[in-house]
Structure 1
Amino acid sequence: MNGADALLTMLRDYGVEVIFGVPGDTNVALYHALKRMDGAPLHVACRDERSAVFMADCYARLSGKPGVAEVPSGAGAMYGLPGVAEANKSSVPVILLVNDIPQMGVGRGTLTELPIEAMFRPISKHTETLHRVEKLPETIRRAFRMATGGRPGAVVLALPENLLYEELDVAPQQLRAEPQCRVAPAFRILPEDEAMGCAIDALLASKRPLIVAGGGANRSAAGESLVRLAEHLGIPIATTITGQGVISDDHRLAIGIIGDNGFHPHAVWALGRADLVMYVGCRMGSVATMNWKWPPADNGGKIIQIDVDPDIIANTADVDFPLMGDARATIESFLARTRSESLPTGDWIESINSRRAEFWTTMQSELRSREIPIRPERVIDALNLHLPAKCHVISDAGTPTPYATRFLKLNHRGSKLVIPRFFGGLGYAIPAVVGAYFAAPEYRPVALFGDGSLGMSAGELETLARLEIPAVLIHFNNGCFGWIKALQRVMHKGDGNDGTFGVDFGRHDMSKLAAVYGIRNFRVDTTEELEHALEQAFASQEPCFIDVAVESIADRLPPVYSWLTKFGVDPGVIGVQAMF
């Protein structure tokens, strides 16, 4: 076999089901091998290299398996940068194969030559160039080991074109896959026994404990274990945006979102009054802590932080009980060691849930509003009524985020809300639903995105149509970069003019764009049309595009903690309306 055959053989044996990629001058050998090899992974041809890596990222987030993307050299590699950076910082196992120029062309002015390792090293967990075809087996094994081991992350391999054509004389055993590296995390480590014992003693001595689950809890698949521990000891669970989904939203111990963007007042109230907070897979970064102000330093509460990455622990706050270990394995150890224990937290849970009930009751008037243009939260409420139990909702950063995080209700434990939060790049949701579908075809994929995102990823509508992905695509159409327009108004509050610049563009009926690709489409201007469109979309098994004319996020303050406080609005007061 040649290098391309050996590569695909190993990917197949690592359980790679699908490869997302874009054809180019330097990946002809790979494509030829994909076409002729029996049992090769399915190849999804994308319209943009950014999209290919975004698809791999979402596939990995929802399946736990490494997502694999491939791109050609030159601009193809450069377009892969955003997805690699997001996956790596979000601890998502992604492997990007860069089909590079032939080795003989290096340093000779060859078209599309780039220093791949130098370019990707600052934003990836591991970057490596294959220099000899005989080294391919160990290079692939190292890539999967690095992507899935420790804190999962993104790995980039540069594969010179000539090596994929070269013959490789190897025994089958030399192409072996390491079975533990087929999923992430590959190796689950535990904190030191003494440190864990001290943390457990502190937890059992608390009267108002609170768990805050971050994205690391999802990456570790710790949700089921967390819920069992919470139910056993009676501990309420709040989550960050990326931690959503570890517990179903209708659970009595699920108290909502903490953090700056789309927060729940009752969850923030609990965070400020807990006498012990256990952060599980949470960086305690700027969003989760509302710019490092929550929980208040003077409330006397203790902090336990569980994270697999020692660089994260106690990086932004004093931590009383730092525990370096895998989230799921550590929580399961907590559960085993507290099996005969209990905590008298009934009054604590009741006080939080009474505020939780007040929040949802008070918000009903906004959620059921029939104002025109339609409020973004009204879109989310209508979506809640039509979502199937098994669904994966993918949201872009921007307009949909604060409303999806605050108001979306996912009552099936396996359903997830995915948002690329670390770098907040637009153009994620539309391609990501392709990755979501291949990760879990039994879950209905739903995309939420604004005008800016659509403009950056509209080409992938063709991919959705070609592959017949049954995604429901909901476009929040407000004719602007809504989040940035709102931010400009926040930053220039009271300067006597509109305060915005460079953020507006034409309002168009974007359902016509979907029609170009043969996608079933709906234009929505009223709440009655919204209900009809959602009903029809979820009743079908084809891709559907719903273009909703919504109120701009820049006209009325969204539920963003720091923005509300800047305008003198108490974020803890439920139902307060604040206009710019």
Structure 2
Amino acid sequence: MRGADILVEMLIGYGVEVVFGVPGDTNVPFYEALQEREGKIRHVMARDERSAGYMADAYGRFTKKPGVFECPSGAGAMYSLPPVAESNSSSVPVILLTIDIPLPGEGRGVLTELDCARLFDPITKMSVQVKSPEKLPEIIRRAFRVACSGKPGAVHLQIPEDMLIADVDPARISLHVEEECKEFPAYPTLPAPHKLDTLISLLTASAKPLIVSGGGVNRACAGPEVTELAERLNIPVCTTMTGQGTMPDDHRLAVGVIGDNGFHPHANWALEHADFVLFVGSKMGSVVTIGWTFPKITLNKRVAQIDIDPEIMANNYENVLCVPGDAKLVVQRLIELVPARNNATHTQAWVDELNGLRAEFWENSEVLLNSEASPLRPERAVRCFNEALEAYGKPAHIYSDAGTPTPHMTRFLKLRDPRTRFAIPRAFGGLGSALPATVGAWFADNHRRPIGMFGDGSFGMSVGELETLVRLQIPAILMLFNNGTFGWIKGLHRLKGHNQCFGVDFMPPRGQAIAEAFGLKAWTATDSRSLDEALKNAFSYADGPCLIDIHVESIADRVPPVYSWLLKRGKDPLSTKAEEVRYF
């Protein structure tokens, strides 16, 4: 067998259905092996290695399988850095194959020579160079084991081209796969039983308990379990922005999103006033705690933490209890330990208080959600999307860039269908991910409509992938929020008192014309009426990708729902009143 045959057979053995990537000089042998096995494994060509990585990231987020992508040597490897770093820090299982220059060329000035194993080492769980073709099966097994076990993350394999063209005696290798490592979580763990007994006692004894569900809950597909535990014990649930979608937003125990960006004031108020808080699958980092300044009443000695990674336990606060383990398994076991006669009526006053604040917030928000001001307000755009998604009545995979759409989508998006998943790459906040991510989302599950949300700054970084969507006829709905500026950065300028902003404005793209030039169906929306019509058409269109060019007010024109920004403007972020806050 050739090394390339071994590599592809191992990928097939691990259940890999699709590999995203970009062709180059060094990966031709790999492509030959893929082509010979067409029908068993599919290669999806992206137009940029960074885009291929975001496709793999979305695939990993929306399945329980690692996303796999590949790139050629040199610049291809360097372009692959941003998505790999994002996946690893966001605990998304991803495997990158860098097909590199032949080993004999090392240190001899060969074009594109680069120490890729060292380059990726700081941003992956494992980064190794393959130095023998006979080692390929062993290293592939290790790659899947590392990516999928413990806290999931990214793995990088640097595979010299000569490893792929070398002949290997099949008798000297084993192509077996580890069944447990085909999906995350591989080898899920549980804590010692006394930890769970103590946690149940803490939850049932508390008068004002709160569960905070983080991104780890979505990664472990543990939303139903968290919901059942909350219902059994009558405990309200907040989420971090990456935990959004843990339970339907109209559930009586679903309070809202905590933290800095796109927060709900009543959710942050709940975190402030709870007497015991259980964090599940959350690092409790800077966004959740607003730079460790919130809640003002410290979380010390009133927090328990469930997480698959013991290293982050009690990293920022003095926890009452640390419970290491897989979120789904741990919560399942907690459900079994709930006392049979538990009626949890002692928490009802607390639940009612939070629901009163929640109702007050949404009632006061109607003035913003129904605004017909010009330019189109982002709050109104979210209301239009909520109504269109509800009318569509089918599940979707929604992937939003970390920029312009984030604060308003996080605050006003309402997810009622538990089959719909919502993801935002929040580790590094890089732009340019949402458009290519719709490709990965589609291959993750072609029964759920992929929806990508991004600003015009992000659009300029990944516009070439429109061709990929058309070529593959993926029925993605792309929502371009268009206002001719890097709005988040411009807003920061203005927040610091600099109205003469520097280096943040550009020509607004003609989104509809660009999309149509690539062969997409497209519409332009400048007000709620035209947006409603465009969304109706988009959800009805199933013959390929489509784009809505939404001309919307910039978050640099009016302070968005960001706790720290509102505080700097002298406002009370915990107020449930609907107030328009200007920079000047």
- Aligned twin of 2:216: 216
The TM-score normalised by the length of structure 2 is 0.97
Q: Distance between the aligned counterparts of 2:168 and 2:384, measured in 1? A: 57
Q: Say if 1:3 and 1:167, in contact at 8 Å, map to a contact too.
A: yes
Name which of structure 1's ranges 219-228 and 474-483 shifts more when overlaid on structure 2.
219-228
Number of residues paired by the alignment? 576
Q: Say if 1:275 and 1:300, in contact at 8 Å, map to a contact too.
A: no
- Residue 199 of structure 1 deviates from its aligned partner by 2.1
- Aligned twin of 2:427: 422
Code of the residue aligned with 2:358 in structure 1: it is R
CA deviation digits over 1:378-414, x for unaligned, max 9? Answer: 1111011111330111110111000110111111112
- Residue 78 of structure 1 deviates from its aligned partner by 0.4
- Aligned twin of 1:315: 315
**RMSD in angstroms over aligned alpha carbons?**
1.4
- Aligned twin of 1:365: 367
- Aligned twin of 2:443: 438
- Aligned twin of 2:283: 283
Q: Distance between the aligned counterparts of 1:23 and 1:466, measured in 2? A: 16
- Residue 525 of structure 1 deviates from its aligned partner by 1.5
State the secondary structure of the residue aligned to 2:514. helix
Code of the residue aligned with 1:404 in structure 2: it is M
Q: 1:99 to 1:363 in 2, by over 3 A?
A: same
State the secondary structure of the residue aligned to 1:311. helix
Q: Say if 2:130 and 2:160, in contact at 8 Å, map to a contact too.
A: yes
Q: Distance between the aligned counterparts of 1:346 and 1:199, measured in 2? A: 20
Name which of structure 1's ranges 339-348 and 457-466 shifts more when overlaid on structure 2.
339-348
Q: Say if 1:258 and 1:288, in contact at 8 Å, map to a contact too.
A: yes
- Structure 1 residue 544 and structure 2 residue 549: aligned? no
- Aligned twin of 1:519: 520
Q: Say if 1:9 and 1:40, in contact at 8 Å, map to a contact too.
A: no
Code of the residue aligned with 1:576 in structure 2: it is E
CA deviation digits over 1:215-243, x for unaligned, max 9? Answer: 11111121111111111111111100111
State the secondary structure of the residue aligned to 2:549. strand
CA deviation digits over 1:527-559, x for unaligned, max 9? Answer: 211111111010011211111111111010100
- Residue 299 of structure 1 deviates from its aligned partner by 7.5
CA deviation digits over 1:545-580, x for unaligned, max 9? Answer: 111111111010100000000000111222011111
State the secondary structure of the residue aligned to 1:229. helix
Aligned match of 2:354 in 352, 358, 362? 352
- Aligned twin of 2:578: 575
- Structure 1 residue 463 and structure 2 residue 468: aligned? yes
Q: Distance between the aligned counterparts of 2:187 and 2:234, measured in 1? A: 29
- Residue 211 of structure 1 deviates from its aligned partner by 0.4
Q: Distance between the aligned counterparts of 1:185 and 1:299, measured in 2? A: 30
Code of the residue aligned with 1:498 in structure 2: it is N
Q: Distance between the aligned counterparts of 1:250 and 1:461, measured in 2? A: 35
Q: Say if 2:141 and 2:178, in contact at 8 Å, map to a contact too.
A: yes
Q: Percent identity?
A: 51
Q: Say if 2:260 and 2:288, in contact at 8 Å, map to a contact too.
A: yes
Q: Distance between the aligned counterparts of 1:560 and 1:283, measured in 2? A: 20
> Which aligned pairs between 1:549-560 and structure 2 lie closer than 5 A?
549-560=551-562
> Which aligned pairs between 1:448-459 and structure 2 lie closer than 5 A?
448-459=453-464
- Aligned twin of 1:65: 65
- Residue 295 of structure 1 deviates from its aligned partner by 3.0
Q: Distance between the aligned counterparts of 2:331 and 2:460, measured in 1? A: 42
- Aligned twin of 1:484: 489
> Which aligned pairs between 1:131-142 and structure 2 lie closer than 5 A?
131-142=131-142
Code of the residue aligned with 1:459 in structure 2: it is G
- Aligned twin of 2:249: 249
Q: Say if 2:85 and 2:123, in contact at 8 Å, map to a contact too.
A: yes
- Residue 362 of structure 1 deviates from its aligned partner by 1.1
- Structure 1 residue 304 and structure 2 residue 298: aligned? no
Q: Say if 2:95 and 2:156, in contact at 8 Å, map to a contact too.
A: yes
> Which aligned pairs between 1:154-169 and structure 2 lie closer than 5 A?
154-169=154-169
State the secondary structure of the residue aligned to 1:242. helix
- Structure 1 residue 7 and structure 2 residue 10: aligned? no
Q: Distance between the aligned counterparts of 1:295 and 1:218, measured in 2? A: 24
- Residue 301 of structure 1 deviates from its aligned partner by 6.5
Q: Say if 2:300 and 2:319, in contact at 8 Å, map to a contact too.
A: no
Code of the residue aligned with 1:552 in structure 2: it is S
Q: Distance between the aligned counterparts of 1:531 and 1:38, measured in 2? A: 42
Q: Distance between the aligned counterparts of 2:292 and 2:38, measured in 1? A: 54
- Residue 316 of structure 1 deviates from its aligned partner by 1.2
- Structure 1 residue 381 and structure 2 residue 386: aligned? no
- Aligned twin of 1:498: 499
Q: Distance between the aligned counterparts of 1:422 and 1:107, measured in 2? A: 35
> Which aligned pairs between 1:264-279 and structure 2 lie closer than 5 A?
264-279=264-279
- Residue 25 of structure 1 deviates from its aligned partner by 0.4
CA deviation digits over 1:168-211, x for unaligned, max 9? Answer: 22259811111111111111111222233222221111011110
- Residue 46 of structure 1 deviates from its aligned partner by 0.2
CA deviation digits over 1:475-522, x for unaligned, max 9? Answer: 1101000011001111x23xxx51421000112322111111110011
Q: Distance between the aligned counterparts of 2:138 and 2:221, measured in 1? A: 28
State the secondary structure of the residue aligned to 2:311. coil
State the secondary structure of the residue aligned to 2:55. helix
> Structure 2 regions of 5+ residues with no counterpart?
none
Code of the residue aligned with 1:507 in structure 2: it is P
Q: Distance between the aligned counterparts of 2:144 and 2:377, measured in 1? A: 45
- Residue 38 of structure 1 deviates from its aligned partner by 4.7
> Which aligned pairs between 1:109-124 and structure 2 lie closer than 5 A?
109-124=109-124
Q: Distance between the aligned counterparts of 2:367 and 2:10, measured in 1? A: 56
CA deviation digits over 1:100-136, x for unaligned, max 9? Answer: 1011111110000100111000010100111111111
Q: Distance between the aligned counterparts of 1:243 and 1:7, measured in 2? A: 35
Code of the residue aligned with 1:134 in structure 2: it is E
- Aligned twin of 2:55: 55
Q: Distance between the aligned counterparts of 2:300 and 2:50, measured in 1? A: 46
- Residue 417 of structure 1 deviates from its aligned partner by 1.2
Q: Distance between the aligned counterparts of 1:560 and 1:172, measured in 2? A: 59
- Structure 1 residue 392 and structure 2 residue 397: aligned? yes
> Structure 1 regions of 5+ residues with no counterpart?
none
- Aligned twin of 2:566: 564
Q: Distance between the aligned counterparts of 2:299 and 2:431, measured in 1? A: 38
State the secondary structure of the residue aligned to 2:241. coil
The TM-score normalised by the length of structure 1 is 0.97
Code of the residue aligned with 2:581 in structure 1: it is A
- Residue 451 of structure 1 deviates from its aligned partner by 1.2
Code of the residue aligned with 1:563 in structure 2: it is W
- Structure 1 residue 232 and structure 2 residue 232: aligned? yes
Q: 1:292 to 1:300 in 2, by over 3 A?
A: closer
Divergent runs of 4+, >4 A: 298-301
Name which of structure 1's ranges 221-230 and 279-288 shifts more when overlaid on structure 2.
221-230
Q: Distance between the aligned counterparts of 2:140 and 2:200, measured in 1? A: 40
Q: Distance between the aligned counterparts of 2:96 and 2:500, measured in 1? A: 42
